[in-house]
Amino acid sequence: MIQVDESDPVGEVEPSFPYRNVSIQRGVDMKELYDLQSELGRGKFGTVYRCREKSSGLQLAAKFVATPKREDRRNVEREIEIMRLLQHPRLIQLYDAYDNGKAMCVVLELIEGGELFERVICDDFILTEKSCTVFMRQICEGIEFIHKQNILHLDMKPENILCLTRTGNRIKIIDFGLARKYDPQKKLQVLFGTPEFVAPEIVNFDQISFETDMWSVGVICYVLLSGLSPFMGATDIETMANVTIAKYDFDDEVFNEISEDAKDFIQKLLLKDKEARLNANQCLKHKWLSEKAVNTTLSKVKLKRYVIKKRWIKAVNTIIALRRMGAKLDFDSV
């Protein structure tokens, strides 16, 4: 059985990633320098493969993004520019970048443990409130650093939280594809994440800020503890309607086993008034994250259901996307 070690929750010494000052290389074929291996993931962001740097033998991840439009290239350039500022152990690290005109390749730190939610629903993982605090603390540490660099992530959701290894408890935040520099002069609006996790100010096209990420942290925490999604409606429109009025509750019976400190933590993030929400630093000082949390085992029945449903939605979306690209169906890749 795998359980979080409470005395030293993030465990073993963390190998530090070789931080590099990355600039985009043009006219160089990355395949000359790297061996491409298995596919790690696929999404709106492109396709990510495991790869190996030939010169050093280092195992890394390579994200490929087709850039048919000028805007596609600008988006990847912006992401790289932002990632250059984010050297921190709780955040995926940038290693190298290539542009061959048709596609761009971003070489990243390899994170081998898979998505956090996939990990915690495994039968050999005991989910307790304490293990949830270990994960939430690391998420807040990562967000605290991102915000200190004056950057907003804007796409915080469970699939963007990966486990470093299959057995340890360290996590890393990935996907800076929607991230933006915060400029109070410029009115940042419209950027859209996933309805289930976006804050009311996104749905309302109001000014967004650091607090916008903190709302999503609150939603992630609610789902991790309960397996229920606080604002989920039958349709995206319904979900967004629930988000705009910040309508949620702890009425389900699963919350009977959740501590008041945990509920207080969530309540201080899921506030319609963004100024009233805790920032990442205040989260780390909140009683639930700073004192010993209760070690009761949580039921994973609902969380399993939630993760399995997401897997299906993702598989269906992949099929739709592949068909649109005119690809022949190859069920191994779905």
Residues tagged active-site: 155
In the stretch 165-204, what mask flags binding to ligand PIT with x, by CB under 6 A? ---------xxxx---------------------------
Q: Quick check: 42 and 318 in contact, CB under 8 A?
A: yes
- CB nearer to ligand PIT: give 108 or 283: 108
- Dist CA 140 CA 220 (whole Å): 11
- Dist CA 210 CA 201 (whole Å): 12
Smallest separation, CB 47 to ligand PIT (Å):
10
Residue nearest ligand PIT, CB atom distance? 61
Smallest separation, CB 116 to ligand PIT (Å):
12
In the stretch 110-129, what mask flags binding to ligand PIT with x, by CB under 6 A? xx------------------
Smallest separation, CB 79 to ligand PIT (Å):
6
- CB nearer to ligand PIT: give 63 or 274: 63
**Binders in 74-113 for ligand PIT, by CB under 6 A:** 92, 108-111
In the stretch 33-62, what mask flags binding to ligand PIT with x, by CB under 6 A? -------xx---x--x------------x-
Applying CB under 6 A, what is the total number of residues that bind ligand PIT?
Answer: 16
Structure tokens at 211: 């607090």
- CB nearer to ligand PIT: give 10 or 174: 174
- Dist CA 73 CA 80 (whole Å): 11
- CB nearer to ligand PIT: give 110 or 120: 110
CB 124: neighbour CB atoms within 10 A? 10
Q: Which of 291, 76, 310 shows the shortest CA–CA distance to 176?
A: 76
> What angle, rounded to 10 degrees, do the helices at 301-324 and 210-226 form?
120
SS3 helix, strand, coil % of the chain, rounded to 5? 40, 15, 45
- CB nearer to ligand PIT: give 152 or 270: 152
Smallest separation, CB 92 to ligand PIT (Å):
6
292 annotated as ligand-binding: no
Residues 6+ apart with CB under 8 A from 250: 258, 263
Concatenating the DSSP letter of every residue in 88-156 gives -TTBPPEEEEEE-SSEEEEEEE---S-BHHHHHTSTTB--BHHHHHHHHHHHHHHHHHHHHTTEE----
Smallest separation, CB 29 to ligand PIT (Å):
21
**Binders in 139-168 for ligand PIT, by CB under 6 A:** 162
- Dist CA 76 CA 97 (whole Å): 10
Which residues in 104-118 are b (16+ Cβ under 10 Å) and which e? bbbbbbbbebebbbb
Smallest separation, CB 164 to ligand PIT (Å):
10
Q: In the chain, count H helices and then E strands.
A: 11, 10
- CB nearer to ligand PIT: give 163 or 258: 163
Q: Residues annotated as binding site for ATP?
A: 63
Q: Residues annotated as binding site?
A: 63
Residues at the interface with ligand PIT (CB under 6 A)? 40-41, 45, 48, 61, 63, 92, 108-111, 162, 174-177
